[in-house]
Amino acid sequence: MLNVSLNGTGGVGGNVIARMVQSSIDRKLNPIEIIKLDKISFMLPIQNSGNLRMRAVGVRHELVNGAINVHIAYEFLRT
């Protein structure tokens, strides 16, 4: 979180300005795309049945105990 100090105001308004600046930064930088869905999609050969294409259709994350868990949703297509 961004800390802002306004000299001579006794701290009045500092929190409001900090929230405005932080939300402006968040709108411009977040979310940052780390990996594209097409990079986690792949083909899976199946014996005597051709191929199964696993196409990533969604990604979500969660922070748990200082770790990030990434959940990937796949659509399965027979090719």
28 plus 39 within the same structural domain: no
**Which residues, in sequence order, are bridge partners of residue 67?**
64
Residues 63 and 53 in one domain: yes
Total domains in the fold of the chain: 2
Average pLDDT over residues 46-70: 86
The answer to whether residues 19 and 2 touch, using CB atoms and an 8 Å cutoff, is: no
Q: What is the C-alpha separation between 78 and 14, in angstroms, rounded?
A: 57
- Put simply, whether the predicted model's pTM sits higher than 0.85 gets the answer no
- Catalogue the E-assigned strands of 1-79: 42-46, 50-64, 67-78
pLDDT at 75: 92
Longest dimension (CA), the chain: 78
My answer on whether 42 and 5 are in the same domain is no
Tell whether the model's pLDDT for residue 77 goes beyond 60. yes
Look up residue 15 and give its two tokens: 């929190």
